[in-house]
Amino acid sequence: MQPVFESWTAEERTAWGSRPCVLRHRLHEQPLFSLDGLAALIDAYPKEHYSLIHMGAQGGRRFWREGELGDINGRETIDAIAGGRMWLNLRRVMLVDPRYRAVLEGIFAELDGYLPGLGAFEPSIGILISSPNAQVYYHADLPGQALWQVHGRKRLYVYPVEPPFLAPEQLEDIALYGIEVDMAYEPGFDEGAFVHELVPGEMAHWPLNAPHRIENLDCLNVSMTMEYWTDDIRRRHMLNVANGILRRHMHVAPRSRATSGPAFLAKAALQAGARRSGWLDGLRAKRRLIEFRLDRGALVPASGEKAA
Ligand SMILES: [Fe+2]
């Protein structure tokens, strides 16, 4: 199989994880990532592995609703996204289709060569198909992340991992509650951002937990999202959960963000207890509501009312 990455410079190897970087790839040249290939993938995609999100009017209040695909086929779905305001996230595609699992395995085999000692585990990929001018709002993620552009163009903003862009409390809340919290974004933040217009054949990677947001340009966008864990990322996650429990539920302001030593071991035990007892799951209980179905010609809310 042809390598997925074009090449890596010594500087890019050093920069991985410490600052935002953009690398060249060949994913967009593979038939699996052509619009025909993706249409066939959508046709066979099980409901439990995708999210279809309908966005509110541009410039309006930030909101979205989750739905499901109705009686339209993969090509019609892509056409509806191209002409609408929504995004389809084909989550964990490597579990659905072994050909995409092979892509994922190839990527990490190459990464292991370029980044000895990376030690990634639980890698995951998803395919995000989104409408012209769609946005992904300002947020931060817990695992290591990369964004691969396949079709269309989007503008990526990556912000420093420090206040005022991201406070430890915000990261703790994301880790503790298992959901993205409503992170406050100020337009002035953009002055401190790394900004890059991603085109097909480019992959962006950024420092762990770096807040980011995305604006599609005026075209259909297809991207592949990638996540992974390492031992270091897992330790930082355990620390965030434990510090969140201390701060939010035991009313103790955590003083340390160390990921080794006696204080860390105590915190590791604290969060493991919360996990084992089911207390953490209770916190994270969330509802998944199907609000509309995408049918031929219209957005049809599951309630039967006309979509706004
Ligand atoms: Fe993200």
Distance 140 CA to ligand 1 centre (A): 6
Q: What pTM value is reported for the model?
A: 0.85
Distance 130 CA to ligand 1 centre (A): 14
Highest mean pLDDT among 4-18, 95-109, 132-146: 95-109
Give the rounded percent of residues in the chain with a pLDDT score beyond 70.
86
> Exposed, middle or buried by CB within 10 Å (0-12, 13-18, 19+), for 128?
buried
Over residues 116-138, mean pLDDT = 93
List % helix, strand, coil for the chain (3-state, nearest 5).
35, 25, 40
Distance 139 CA to ligand 1 centre (A): 6
Over residues 192-201, mean pLDDT = 97
Q: Answer whether residue 304 shows pLDDT above 60.
A: no
CA distance 223 to 51: 15
Distance 262 CA to ligand 1 centre (A): 32
Give the pLDDT confidence score for residue 102 in this predicted structure. 97
Distance 211 CA to ligand 1 centre (A): 8
In this structure, of 44-58, 243-257, 277-291, the range with the lowest mean pLDDT score is 277-291
Check if the beta carbon of residue 137 is closer than 8 Å to that of residue 213. Answer: yes
pLDDT range class, residue 70, cuts 50, 70, 90? confident
> Exposed, middle or buried by CB within 10 Å (0-12, 13-18, 19+), for 61?
exposed
The DSSP line for 92-158 is THHHH-HHHHHHHHHHHHHHHHHSTT---EEEEEEEEEE-TT-EEEEE--SSEEEEEEEES-EEEEE
Torsional sign, CA 102, 107, 111, 113: positive
87 dihedral zone (left: phi>0; alpha: psi -120 to 50; beta): beta
Q: Answer whether residue 130 shows pLDDT above 60.
A: yes
> Exposed, middle or buried by CB within 10 Å (0-12, 13-18, 19+), for 174?
buried
Distance 297 CA to ligand 1 centre (A): 31
Over residues 247-262, mean pLDDT = 80
- Classify 10-229 by CATH class: mainly beta
Distance 73 CA to ligand 1 centre (A): 28
CA distance 118 to 131: 34
The DSSP line for 38-107 is HHHHHHT--GGGEEEEEEPPTTS---EEEEEE-S--HHHHHHHHHTSSEEEEETTHHHH-HHHHHHHHHH
In this structure, of 12-16, 80-84, 178-182, the range with the lowest mean pLDDT score is 178-182
* Amino acid code (one letter) for 97: D
Distance 14 CA to ligand 1 centre (A): 22
Q: Answer whether residue 285 shows pLDDT above 90.
A: no
* Amino acid code (one letter) for 72: I
Distance 32 CA to ligand 1 centre (A): 23
Distance 166 CA to ligand 1 centre (A): 14
Give the pLDDT confidence score for residue 291 in this predicted structure. 46
DSSP-derived 3-state class of residue 169: helix
**Token duo for residue 88:** 């389809």
Distance 39 CA to ligand 1 centre (A): 24
CA distance 178 to 198: 28
Specify the pairing of strand 64-69 against strand 50-55: antiparallel
pLDDT range class, residue 287, cuts 50, 70, 90? very low
Distance 303 CA to ligand 1 centre (A): 30
Q: Answer whether residue 199 shows pLDDT above 50.
A: yes
pLDDT range class, residue 131, cuts 50, 70, 90? very high
Distance 141 CA to ligand 1 centre (A): 5
Q: Give me the residue spans of the domains in the chain.
A: 10-229, 231-286
- The candidate with the shortest Cα–Cα distance to 154, out of 224, 66, 83, is 224
Distance 308 CA to ligand 1 centre (A): 27
Distance 176 CA to ligand 1 centre (A): 17
Distance 174 CA to ligand 1 centre (A): 12
Q: Answer whether residue 82 shows pLDDT above 50.
A: yes
Check if the beta carbon of residue 12 is closer than 8 Å to that of residue 23. Answer: yes
Distance 216 CA to ligand 1 centre (A): 14
Distance 35 CA to ligand 1 centre (A): 23
Distance 213 CA to ligand 1 centre (A): 7
